Structure 1
Amino acid sequence: MPKLSRLVVAAALTVALPLTAMAAPAQAHGMSHSPAKPRIVVTQDGEVDDMDSFIRFLYYANEFDIAGIVYSSSRFHWAGNGADVAPYRWTGTEWVDHYIDLYAKLYPNLRQHADGYPTPAKLRSFYKIGNVSNVSEMTQVTEGSEWIKKVILDDKPGPLYVQAWGGLNTTARALKSIQDQFSGTGAWPSIQRKINKKVVIYNILNQDATLADYIRPNWPGIRIIDNQSQFWSFAYLWTRQVPAAYQSTLKAPYMETNFLNGHGALLEQYRTYRDGKPTRGDDENNRWRPDQNLTYDVHDFISEGDSPAYMYLFDFNGLRSSENPTYGGWGGRFAPNASGWIDTSDVNTFTGAADRAFPQTRWVADLQNDFAARADWGVTPRYRDANHNPLASVREGVDLSVKAGRPVTLHGRGSDPDGDQLAYRWWQYTDAGTYGKAVDLAVRGSAVSLTVPADAQSGQTIHLIFEVTDDGTPALKHYQRVIITVR
C-alpha cells in the first residue's frame, strides 16, 4: 500500500474551533473561517497613508463584503468643532468621494479581470462621517457611529472585522450607544454574547485613547488583532525595517513603472516621497517636498501603514491567514494575548535574528507585484492583455494528520489562466508552526517529501508553503499552506 494512503486528512485543531469558543481569546488561538467573503467595516482618519491604503483597497474591493467606510479622527488628524477645538492637520472628507469617482472610471475594466467588484454607487452608500471633531471624541452620536451600531446589531453572522486605520473613537461611540440602549435590560446578556462572538477589531497602532479607556474595560470579550509594530515595515520608516534585498519594489523605478505612470487617474493620486504634491490641510507633513527627506528618491514608496488591516483577510492568495492570526500572511502574524492577539516576531532569514517586522516584510515583493497586476487591470479592457494569478493546489489536501516518525510526500500542482510558464517552491514556515524547528525537505519539482520528526508532540503543527509563480509581467504567485498536525 502506498505510504500516502496512511495520511488522514483532517482539519487542523485550531481551525475547527467554533467562533463561540473564542470568547476567551487568551485561551483559544483559532478563528472560525467561512468560505464567504470577509465582512468588513473600514474606519480611517484621512492621513496620507490612509489615502494610499484606500487606493489599494479599491483595487481589492472585490475580495470583501464591505459593510462600511467610516471617517474617524485620530491623534494625528481631527476636524475641529468650529468653536473651542481648532482643526489639526485636517484633510477634509471629500477625498473619499473623489477617489470613488476615479474608481468608477476603472470599474468597467476591473470587472473584465475578476468578479465581485462593487459598483461605485454601492461604495458611496457605505461612506459615512463619524466622530471627527477631536482626538478620542466619542460623546457625539454621529452618522458613522450609528452606521457601525446598525451593522454590529444586524442579523448577519460574524465575524465582522472592524478595521482601525485611525482612532477607534467612532467604533467606541457605536458600542457606547449599544450599551446605553440595552444595559440593564433583559436583552443585554444576549447582546453582549452576540457582539463578543461577532466583532473582531484589527487595530493599527493606538491612534487615540478610546481602546484603552472605553472598549477594553467595557467590552473585554471583543477580540482584538493588535498591530503595534509590524505595520512600520509598510509605512514611513520602511527603509529601517525592510531588508535591502526586498526594497526594490518600494523604490522609485518600480513605483513609477507599475503605479504612477500610465495607470489611470486614481493612481495619479497615489502619494510618494518628495513627489511635489502637498495634501490639502496637511502641509506640515513635508514628506511631499522635493527639498526634504533626501534619503529617499523622488517617488519612493511613502506609506501604506493601514493596508495590513485588510491584507490580513486576503484568502484569495491561499495563505489562509484569516483562519488564525498565528498563521501569518500579507497582513502580519500574531501571538495570543489577554484580549486577542498582538504582533510577534519571525526569524529574519537574512540576519538569523528574531525580527518583529519580518512577518510583514517577508511578503513585500509578492504583495507589491500583486498590486501591480491589479493596477494593470484598471487600464486594460481585455482579459488576455493583462496578467492574472496562477492557481496552486496540493493533491493530498491542505490539512493533514500524521503520526510522529512517519514519512509524508505531497504533490503540488499549478495552472495558469494566461498559459504562463510556472515555477514551484516548497518551504517551511517554521515560525507559524507550533513544532518550531526546521524539518528536512526533499523537493523534486512540484513534490516534497519529509518525515515528521520523532520528537514532535501530539497536537503540534508543521506549516509548509507551496508557491506557484508565473513568468508573466509582473510575476504573480499563488500559495497553498499545508498544515500537518502531529497525532
Structure 2
Amino acid sequence: MSKTSLFFVFSLMTMLLFNHSGMSQKTKPRVVISTDIGGTDPDDFQSIIHLMMYSDLINIEGLISSPFGDGKKQDLLDMIELYEKDRPSLAKNIKGLASVKHLKKVCKQGAKPAAPFAGYTKPTEGSEWIIKCAKKKSSQPLYVLVWGGIEDIAQALHDAPEIEKNIRVYWIGGPNKKWSINAYAYIAEHHPNIWMIEANATYRGWFMEDENAPKNMSGAAYYENFIKGHGAMGANFVNHYKGHIKMGDTPSLAYLMNGDPNDPTTDSWGGKFEKINHSSRTIISGGSTQVDSVVAYGVIEWRFKGPELNIPQDSACFTIEIQKQEWPGYYLGNGVYGVRYSSKKPEKSSYITHSTISELNGLKGQYVSTAPWPGKLGKDDYILGKQWYGDLPNSELFLEDQQGARTISKFRNEYLSDWAKRWSFIK
C-alpha cells in the first residue's frame, strides 16, 4: 500500500473515531426546558415559539411545565399544535426540526407551588424526568434551561444527588429567584459544585434596547415587519405582550446557539458571565431598617422570635409583604420563624408581616439592596464551587440598572435578523 493510501486510511479512521466519540462540532446539545408557561408571565409563549423554530439545533429531551400560577402541561401541548401547522413550511428550508410526536411525548408536569423553607417537597413528573434524562449514558452533559422556578432541579438533586455531575443549568433568575428562593437556597447550600449559570440580570439585554438597537426591530415593529402574517405561530405571537418582543428566557437557548457552551466567560448570544465563588446571603435576626444594606439578587433571610408552638417544623404560619406581594414564612423550631426573599433588582423597600400569631403580626421594617451582585464575601454567604457563573459586574455593561445586560443587547441585530429569516420560511 502506498504512503498516500495509508494516509487516506488513517485519516478516515481518525474521522470515524472522532465522530463516534460524540466530540464532533456538529453534535447537538442535549436539552431539557423547564418553563413557567401559562403562569405569571406570558413571555414564555414567545420563547416556546422561538424554541420550536430552532429545534433543529438541539436535541430536546424534555419540556417541563413548572409554573407559578395556573400554567400546566396543556399549555405546552397547545403551542406544539401551532408548530404542527407551520412545521411543513419550515421543514422545506430547515432540516432536522423536532417532530411533533417527539415533542408531545417529552412534555411533563413539574412543580406548581414554590418549595417550603427546606427547598424541596415531593417528586414530580418533571423532577423524575430530569433524573431519567441525566442518568442516560452519554458523552455529553444535559443542559437544563430553567425559565421559571428552579423547584424541579432542587427536587431532582435531592432525590438523586449523583446527577449533579451530569447536568449543566442555565437559570433565568432575577424575578424567578424571588419566587423560587427556598429551592435556590437548597441548591446553593447542598450542591455548590453544580455547573450553573445564574443569570439574574444579563438576560434582560434580550429585550432592553441599547443606543444601537435597529429601529425596524424596536417595540412592536419586529412583529409588524417580520412575524405578522406568517402562519399559526405568527398569529398567536401577537396575543403575548401585543407582539412586543420580550422572550426573557430565550437567552438560555441562544447561549447554545451562538458561542462556546463550554465556556460561559466568552461572548455568546446568551450573554457573557464570570466565575463567582460565593452567593450573597444576609441573615437578619429580628427587624431591619434602611441602614441595613443587602446585595441585589442575594438571599435576605429574616429570623423572628416567637412562641414555641406544637406545629410541624417548616410549617408556613406567617407571610411577609413586600411591594404588594407576599411570601410565606415558616416555623423553624425552638421559637424561631424564618422567611427568605430576594430583590429582582437594586431597590429601596419596606416590609410588613401578617399572621394569626400575634407576636408575628404587623412587624415592619426596611432594607436597601445594591449592585453589583454578588458583592464582597460576607459571613453568611453560600460558598460556591468552581463551576458557578454570574452576571458581569462591570459598570459599562449595565443597561440602566441591569447588570451585564449589554453582553446580550450588543447582538440584538444579529439574533433577531437570524430569526427573521426563519419567519420568512413560514407561508
Q: Distance in 1 between matches of 2:25 and 2:238?
A: 35
| Match of residue 177, structure 1, among 159, 164, 177 | 159
Report the counterpart of residue 25 of structure 1 in structure 2: none
Identity fraction in percent: 27
Q: Distance in 2 between matches of 1:274 and 1:168?
A: 24
Q: Distance in 2 between matches of 1:122 and 1:107?
A: 13
Contact 2:197 2:390 in 1 (8 A): yes
Contact 1:345 1:357 in 2 (8 A): no
The CA deviation at 1:166 is 0.2
The CA deviation at 1:307 is 0.2
Report the counterpart of residue 75 of structure 2 in structure 1: 95
Classify 1:105/1:272 alpha carbon distance in 2 versus 1 (closer, same or farther; 3 Å).
closer
Q: Which amino acid aligns with 1:71?
A: S
SS of residue matched to 2:171: strand
Q: Distance in 1 between matches of 2:142 and 2:191?
A: 15
Superposed, 1:212-291 pairs within 5 Å as 212-235=184-207, 238=208, 241-243=209-211, 245-246=213-214, 248-259=216-227, 261-271=228-238, 275=242
Q: Distance in 2 between matches of 1:304 and 1:139?
A: 29
SS of residue matched to 1:171: helix
Question: CA offsets, 1:321-354, max 9 Å, x none?
Answer: 3131111111000111124211216786999xx9
Superposition CA RMSD, Å: 2.8
Question: CA offsets, 1:118-169, max 9 Å, x none?
Answer: 1100001110001113456731221111111111122123311111100110
Report the counterpart of residue 91 of structure 2 in structure 1: 111
Q: Distance in 2 between matches of 1:175 and 1:196?
A: 7
SS of residue matched to 1:378: coil
Classify 1:130/1:343 alpha carbon distance in 2 versus 1 (closer, same or farther; 3 Å).
same
Q: Does 1:366 align with 2:414?
A: yes
Report the counterpart of residue 204 of structure 1 in structure 2: 172
Q: Does 1:141 align with 2:113?
A: no
SS of residue matched to 2:423: helix
Contact 1:62 1:116 in 2 (8 A): yes
Q: Which amino acid aligns with 1:363?
A: F
Classify 1:247/1:231 alpha carbon distance in 2 versus 1 (closer, same or farther; 3 Å).
farther
Classify 1:346/1:217 alpha carbon distance in 2 versus 1 (closer, same or farther; 3 Å).
closer
SS of residue matched to 1:306: coil
Q: Distance in 2 between matches of 1:120 and 1:336?
A: 38
Contact 2:120 2:183 in 1 (8 A): no
Q: Which amino acid aligns with 2:263?
A: N
Contact 1:37 1:65 in 2 (8 A): yes
Q: Does 1:335 align with 2:302?
A: no
The CA deviation at 1:227 is 0.8
Q: Distance in 2 between matches of 1:362 and 1:310?
A: 17
Classify 1:159/1:372 alpha carbon distance in 2 versus 1 (closer, same or farther; 3 Å).
same
Contact 1:152 1:199 in 2 (8 A): yes
Superposed, 1:39-78 pairs within 5 Å as 39-46=30-37, 47-73=41-67, 77-78=68-69
Q: Distance in 2 between matches of 1:233 and 1:35?
A: 28
SS of residue matched to 1:328: coil
Q: Which amino acid aligns with 1:376?
A: S
Contact 2:213 2:412 in 1 (8 A): no
Contact 1:33 1:323 in 2 (8 A): no
Classify 1:135/1:33 alpha carbon distance in 2 versus 1 (closer, same or farther; 3 Å).
farther
Classify 1:114/1:245 alpha carbon distance in 2 versus 1 (closer, same or farther; 3 Å).
closer
Q: Which amino acid aligns with 1:45?
A: D
Q: Distance in 2 between matches of 1:152 and 1:139?
A: 20
Q: Distance in 2 between matches of 1:198 and 1:142?
A: 20
TM-score by length of 2: 0.62
Classify 1:138/1:300 alpha carbon distance in 2 versus 1 (closer, same or farther; 3 Å).
same
The CA deviation at 1:196 is 4.0
Classify 1:145/1:313 alpha carbon distance in 2 versus 1 (closer, same or farther; 3 Å).
same
TM-score by length of 1: 0.54
Q: Distance in 2 between matches of 1:147 and 1:322?
A: 23
The CA deviation at 1:250 is 2.7
SS of residue matched to 1:313: helix
Classify 1:208/1:350 alpha carbon distance in 2 versus 1 (closer, same or farther; 3 Å).
closer
The CA deviation at 1:249 is 1.0
Flag structure 1 segments of 5+ consecutive residues without an equivalent: 1-31, 79-89, 180-191, 276-298, 380-487
Q: Distance in 2 between matches of 1:33 and 1:345?
A: 34
Q: Distance in 2 between matches of 1:100 and 1:51?
A: 11
Q: Distance in 2 between matches of 1:51 and 1:138?
A: 27
Classify 1:60/1:208 alpha carbon distance in 2 versus 1 (closer, same or farther; 3 Å).
same
The CA deviation at 1:224 is 0.5
Q: Which amino acid aligns with 1:38?
A: P
Q: Which amino acid aligns with 1:356?
A: G
Q: Distance in 2 between matches of 1:350 and 1:357?
A: 6
Superposed, 1:256-405 pairs within 5 Å as 256-259=224-227, 261-271=228-238, 275=242, 299-301=243-245, 303-315=246-258, 320-338=259-277, 339=384, 340-344=388-392, 356-379=404-427
Q: Does 1:152 align with 2:134?
A: yes
Aligned positions, number = 286
The CA deviation at 1:216 is 2.0
